[in-house]
Each structure stands twice: as C-alpha cells, then as structure tokens.
C-alpha cells in the first residue's frame, strides 16, 4: 500500500494522549506501526471515486467512508489509531478527502483527522478543492482563473519531475473531445505569500504571464497536503496520467498493489482471407450477415509487401504483434495456385519477428451448427428441438491440425494458447446461450490452458473446463474492411438512422455510444473521426492499467493498412507522455491470462481480510494466504531476503512474490532527507471548504468502450 513518514519518538509520546490512546500505549520501541491501507472519505463526487478506482485497479487496500450516508461510521481517534502489542498503530497510511475540509465548522471529525495526521505524519490528498489560503493558495479572484481547461496542455514542474510525477515526460494534456461539452473545470492560482507550497503540475493563467497550480504540496502546521484544484473522473486522460503520482505521493512509494501500462495487439485470420463489406448491399457476401447467394465474395488477403511493412513497423516501434493464424488459408491458396503462396513464404521467412497463436485450422464456427438461411443466423436444431452442436472430434481436429501445421512450418508456438474463430464454442448471445458442451473436453484433449474470449461480451475471466479465458478488446476497425472508404461506409451504415440510410441500430438502442448525428465523409471520416476515437479508446485502456489484449484482423494490415494509424496513435501518443523508465508492457496471451488470475486471487484475499501489511521504520511486513502471490510497489533499493525486490518500473520497483503463507519482510532503503512538515507560515484557521461541484452545463465525457 502506501508509506507514512515516521514521526519522532518524542512526538509520538507527546501526542499519543491527543488521540485518546491508553496511557500504557508507550512501547520500549515506540516507532509506530503504520498499516498499509488508505482511508478514502468520499462525498459521492467523481474525484474521490477516481482515486478509489485507481487503488482498486492497482490492488491497494483502502477503506471508504461515504459522507452522504446516514449510517456511516464517525471519524474519531478510535477509528484512526490504536495500539498493537503495546506499539502505537496508525490504521491508515494516507487520507483522501473530497476537499481540504469537507466538514462543518468546528467539526470534531476534522479535528480528529488533523491530530492523527500530525501525530503519525500521515499525508492528506485534497481530491478537488477550491483554491484558497486554507489550502496554501490565493483565491482565484486574486489574479487567478476559474473555468474550463478543455484542450489545455498543463506541465509537470521541475519539482514534480524530481518527485512523484517523474514517470511523465513533462506535459499533461487535458481532453477536449467535443466542442459542445465542457469536460474540465479548474481553479488556477499562485501560492499565498510565505506559504510552504510546491506546485507539481501547473498551467498558464489566461491573460497573464504567470502560471497557476493544479496539483501541489502544501506543508503547514505539522501536516502535508496534496492540493488538487481541478475536477476529473476516473476515465479522463488527465487523471489517468496523474493517478500514479497521486498514489506515489500519498504513500511515499511504499504500498501494496502495482500499476503498469500494457498494450498487446492480436491480428486474427493470418494466412486466411477475410470477406469484404459490400457498400451496395450493406452486408458481407460470403458471411452470415448476407443472405445465402447475395453478391460475390471479394476477399481481402495480405501480400508479401504487407508482411515486410509489418516487420519494419514493429522494428520502428519496439513492439511485437501476436499473429493468430489459420493454416488452411495457406494450404488452400497453394492448392489453387499451383503450390505457390508468396504471402506464407514471406511470413515464414520472418516467423521469428512475430508471436504466433493457434486460431484453428479452417476458422470454423465451433459452437452450435449455424442455420444461415435466415439473417441473423440461428442455431440449427434436431426435430425434437434440441440444439445441434459441432462435435468434440471436429473441435479437437481444428485445434490439433492447426498446431501440427504450424509446428511443421517452424512457427514458434505456445501450445496452450488458442483463439477460436469468432470466439466460437463459447456462448454467443442471443443465439447460443451456453458453451458448446463439446468445447471443454476438446480443450482438455489438446492441452489448451488459455482461451481467448470477447471482452465486449465477457469482460471477466472464467473457466471453460481446464482452460481459462483471456478477454480481448475488439477494436472498431472492421474485419471486412481493407480500405478506409469501406470502413467509413460500414461505420455509417451501423451508426446512422434509417432516415439517413443507416441500419437504425442507434434508434433501437439509443444508449449506443458511437451513434452519429450525420454520416461521416467517405474521404475524410476515417482519418478525422474514427482513428482519433479508436486511438483514444485503446489508449484509455492502456492508461487504466488494463492488460487485456486488443484484436484486429489481417485485412486491416492489407491494402490501405487501416490499422496502423490507430496503432501509431496509441504507441506514439504513449511515448510522448511517459518517461523512458515507464515503458509499455507488451505481454503475450498466456502472460496476460496469468496476470488477470493473480489479480483476481489478490483482490479476493483483500476483500476477505486475509492480507495484513504494515510498516515499522524501514521494514515492511506482508502476510497473505498460501498460494496467493503478493503484489507491492516499493522504492528502488528495497530488498527481500537480501535480493532486490520486484522489477524496475516508473522509478520504483514492483512485482508479484509468492507468499507460501509465511510473512514477507521487505527492507526499505534509508529514507531520503525531506523537509519536515509545516516549515512555512501557519495556515489560517481551517474552516469548511466551499462547495466545488462541476458547474452547471459541464460534464466529463467517458471514452467510448466498444460493445461489439
């Protein structure tokens, strides 16, 4: 979790009574025990919710108290601290408040928090507060600014780069996704004269040559506060960029849980050909969305030049694509072309440049037998109404034959990974409500441990027999489009109204987030609308620490190569935002599956109260159940059993460590010298903070997450 600066023995002894602790609480070694848990005091607003969400995703324990609930616990000395084995214990290593003081005037709860923070040097995060002298800042009316920051590029100061935000490359762009929506609101102000206030992130104050703080540290009266003066929600890019630093500041870089940024891209249907969208029929001849016999298939298949481009692109970005292949695509091409398949020859020559995943031999649908005489298709049934399923032998053969083919041509495979065609075999609503009962036995027959699933249908991992699913994010770059104009035409068909020539899906499902008010321009719609939207969506997953892979199709690397602008947007955009010590992690499928499994086991143990973690001086002790790996983030130089803990990332070290049911003792490096809290001028008497809601008419726009 998080770290707390240790107060002196004298200070603890002098202040122990102020917290109402027993007179016998003094210990021969009175260095406090600080539990690695965060106290989040929420007002139901988006900012405290965002910080709680960051802790949740990272696996950092926290306790939330909702001030809007009548049955909430009272915040008092007993809730905050006690003694364990005669040693003073701080139950929380940090406090998050919705503002610098969300309580009424003269509040005993705020007084208890102030005493607690002073006694144990507990830092406080003001999740979103008004700029005012009580928070170390001038009022915005005194030469500052209050208003929108849409589209503004804030900057990390030198102090921020040397401190908790050193993983960033320097800029913090604020979103401006829609000119019709107010997405960001902030107070920009300068520190009060004489205040010990250090801005970490600032922006230019409009109409002046000065810069105002957006995130800064205020030291006063024996306390430390991180003062945040802009509103945000958990999805917005500006918060996602700063979230790691907020947690690092409040914990001193010592906390349970870990946060890394992941990006993996699966390319399905390699060696095969994908059917093409027909712009006149508004369907895909040869696929189940077109009636039988409608149109003539015009398949899309990569060329050797496309393979060379993919390999060069990877080299230029330091990134590896995962290719999900169908061996029959090459076999059939050779049969139809006198034994020649230049595409396969080039892929096989460059086989070591890529990672490879079994995608079944023919890309057959492995669920129920499909009745395609109707659109949409339905499951074929026996005369008694029971569903007709693709058999176990057929499923097994699709997996095993493709593996044999891949091994025979020298593909470097992991035999326990599988992507079925269209994620078939698993349930597909509304037609197929359960898994093919023959799927799990076939997976066992072929030794499959990791099975791809569609994150838009099943975002959580689950077991399919002995195999575990790995949910994949579908990118809204269509499998049946090799050219940008085709992508735009299909996009317009799906997301416009019937009156505009579209499918009417949005009229029938008004909650669909990608609905268009008018069709996109065929010539510019892809580059100007679809690419930025898909880039923002995928980069949002990356910044949220989501390891789930994204998937596209080989058709998107052919012809106009329409996938690359989106992938470039993600990779180049990330590189422009983060320092070199915070790289994108590019894992393969089984590694992603294992990461998701470890996270689930860890969260379960936390939720059941089976994890204990605390810091005493420079030692962190963590106890977790046998079989549950411990995840933690620690400063560089931390050791476990004499060896370096974890792996370097974002200036610290983090990782998973098996606990084997025995306590882990982490030795922290000597704490660097830091200024004591409260070296500046005393703060004014702290009164309740003004309400700082999002102004009327302003809201935060949540990035689109594809539903199909």
Report the pLDDT value the prediction gives residue 514, as an integer from 0 to 100. 86
* Predicted confidence (pLDDT) at residue 5 exceeds the cutoff of 80: no
CATH number at residue 109: 3.40.50.880
Q: Is the pLDDT of residue 677 over 80?
A: no
- Assigned domain for 417 exists: yes
For residue 325, tell me if it sits in a domain: no
Res. 706 pLDDT band, cuts 50 70 90: very low
Same domain for 158 and 17: yes
Give the per-residue pLDDT at 678. Answer: 60
Q: What is the pLDDT of residues 350-402, one digit of tens each?
A: 999 999 999 999 999 999 999 998 989 999 999 999 999 999 999 999 999 99
Residue 517 lies in a domain: no
Measure Cα distances from 85 to 12, 26, 88, 89, 695 in Å.
16, 10, 9, 10, 50
Q: What's the total number of domains in the chain? A: 2
Strand residue runs (E) in 72-188: 81-84, 87-90, 94-97, 124-126, 145-148, 153-156, 171-173, 185-188
User: Does some domain include residue 433?
Assistant: yes
Residue 688 lies in a domain: no
Domain coverage including residue 43? 9-256
The whole-number average pLDDT for the span 214-238 is: 97
Q: Which of 222, 256, 290 is the last residue of a domain?
A: 256
Predicted confidence band of residue 673 (pLDDT cuts 50, 70, 90): very low
Same domain, 247 and 365: no
Question: Between the CA of residue 110 and those of 74, 226, 689, what are the distances in Å?
Answer: 11, 17, 12
Query: Is residue 418 a part of any domain in this protein?
Result: yes
Look up residue 33 and give its two tokens. Answer: 């025990």
pLDDT in tens, 505-514: 999 988 887 8
Q: Are residues 46 and 189 both part of a single domain?
A: yes
The Cα–Cα gap between 60 and 580 comes to 25
pLDDT reported for residue 200: 98
Please state the pTM of the whole predicted model: 0.92
Q: How high is the mean pLDDT of the chain?
A: 92
d(CA 439, CA 464): 8
- Identify whether residues 245 and 378 lie together within a single domain: no
In a domain, 663, yes or no: no
Residue-by-residue DSSP string for 367-418:
SBPEETTSSS-EE-B-TTSPBPBPPHHHHHHHHHHHHHHHHHTT--EEEEEE
pLDDT score for 17: 46
**More confidently predicted of 254 and 697:** 254
What is the pLDDT, as a whole number, of residue 13?
45
Q: Tell whether 248 is covered by a domain.
A: yes
Q: Which of 474, 493, 521 corresponds to the end of one domain?
A: 474
Q: Which of 474, 504, 539 is the last residue of a domain?
A: 474
Looking at residue 691, what DSSP letter applies? Answer: P
> Does the pLDDT of residue 548 top 50, yes or no?
yes
d(CA 554, CA 242): 36
Task: Say whether both 244 and 376 belong to one domain.
Answer: no
């Amino acid at each position: 979790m998080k770290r707390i600066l240790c107060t002196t023995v004298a200070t603890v002894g002098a202040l122990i009574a102020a917290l109402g602790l027993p007179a016998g609480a003094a210990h021969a070694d009175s260095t406090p025990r600080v539990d690695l848990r965060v106290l989040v005091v929420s007002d139901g607003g988006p900012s405290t919710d965002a910080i709680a969400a960051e802790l949740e995703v990272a696996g950092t324990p926290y306790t939330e108290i909702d001030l809007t609930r009548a049955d909430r616990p009272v915040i008092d000395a007993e809730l905050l601290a006690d003694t364990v084995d005669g040693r003073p214990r701080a139950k929380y290593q940090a406090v998050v408040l919705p503002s610098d003081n969300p309580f009424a005037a003269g509040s005993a709860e705020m007084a208890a928090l102030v005493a607690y923070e002073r006694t144990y040097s507990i830092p406080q995060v003001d999740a979103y507060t008004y700029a005012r002298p009580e928070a170390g800042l001038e009022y915005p009316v005194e030469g500052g600014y209050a208003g929108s920051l849409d589209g503004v590029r804030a900057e990390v100061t030198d102090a921020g780069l040397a401190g908790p935000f050193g993983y960033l490359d320097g800029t913090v762009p604020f979103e401006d996704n829609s000119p019709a929506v107010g997405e960001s609101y902030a107070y920009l102000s300068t520190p009060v004269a004489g205040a010990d206030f250090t801005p970490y992130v600032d922006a230019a104050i409009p109409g002046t040559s000065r810069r105002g703080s957006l995130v800064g540290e205020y030291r006063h009266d024996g306390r430390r506060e991180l003062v945040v003066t802009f509103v945000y929600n958990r999805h917005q890019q500006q918060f996602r960029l700063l979230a790691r630093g907020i947690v690092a500041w409040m914990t001193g870089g010592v906390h349970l849980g870990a946060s890394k940024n992941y990006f993996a891209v699966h390319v399905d249907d390699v060696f095969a050909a994908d059917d093409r969208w027909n712009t006149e029929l508004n369907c895909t001849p040869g696929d189940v969305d077109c009636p039988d016999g409608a149109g003539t298939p015009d398949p899309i298949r990569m060329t050797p030049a496309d393979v060379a481009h993919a390999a060069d692109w990877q080299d230029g970005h330091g990134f590896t694509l995962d290719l999900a292949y169908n061996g029959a695509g090459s076999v059939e091409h050779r049969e139809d072309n006198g034994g020649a398949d230049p595409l396969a020859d080039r892929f096989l020559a460059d086989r070591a440049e890529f990672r490879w995943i079994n995608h079944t031999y023919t890309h057959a649908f492995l669920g129920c037998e499909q009745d395609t005489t109707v659109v949409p298709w339905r499951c074929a049934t026996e005369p008694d109404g029971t569903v007709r399923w693709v058999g176990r032998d057929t499923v097994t053969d699709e997996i095993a034959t493709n593996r044999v083919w891949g091994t025979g041509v020298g593909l470097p495979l992991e035999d326990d990974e599988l992507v079925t065609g269209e994620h078939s075999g698993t349930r597909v609503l509304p037609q197929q409500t359960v898994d093919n009962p023959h799927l799990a036995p076939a997976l066992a027959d072929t030794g499959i441990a990791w099975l791809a699933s569609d994150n838009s249908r099943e975002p959580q991992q689950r077991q399919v027999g002995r195999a575990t699913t790995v949910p994949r994010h579908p990118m809204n770059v269509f499998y049946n489009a090799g050219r940008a104009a085709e992508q735009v035409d299909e996009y317009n068909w799906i997301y416009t109204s019937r009156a505009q020539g579209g499918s009417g899906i949005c009229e029938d499902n008004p909650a669909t987030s990608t609905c268009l008010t008018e069709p996109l321009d065929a010539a510019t719609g892809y580059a100007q609308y679809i690419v930025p939207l898909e880039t923002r969506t995928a980069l949002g997953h990356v910044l949220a620490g989501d390891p789930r892979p994204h998937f596209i199709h080989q058709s998107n690397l052919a012809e106009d190569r329409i996938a690359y602008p989106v992938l470039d947007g993600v990779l180049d955009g990330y590189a422009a935002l983060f320092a070199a010590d915070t790289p994108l992690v590019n894992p393969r499928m089984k590694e992603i599956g294992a990461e998701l499994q470890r996270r689930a086991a860890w969260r379960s143990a936390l939720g059941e109260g089976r994890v204990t973690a605390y810091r005493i001086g420079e030692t962190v002790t963590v106890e977790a159940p046998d079989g549950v790996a411990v995840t933690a983030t620690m400063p560089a130089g931390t050791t476990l059993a004499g060896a370096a803990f974890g792996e370097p990332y974002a200036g610290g070290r983090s990782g998973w460590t098996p606990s084997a049911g025995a306590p882990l003792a982490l030795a922290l490096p000597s704490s660097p010298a830091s200024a004591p809290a409260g070296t500046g001028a005393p703060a004014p008497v702290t009164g309740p903070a003004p309400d700082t809601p999002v102004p009327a008419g302003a809201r935060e726009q949540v990035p689109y997450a594809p539903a199909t």
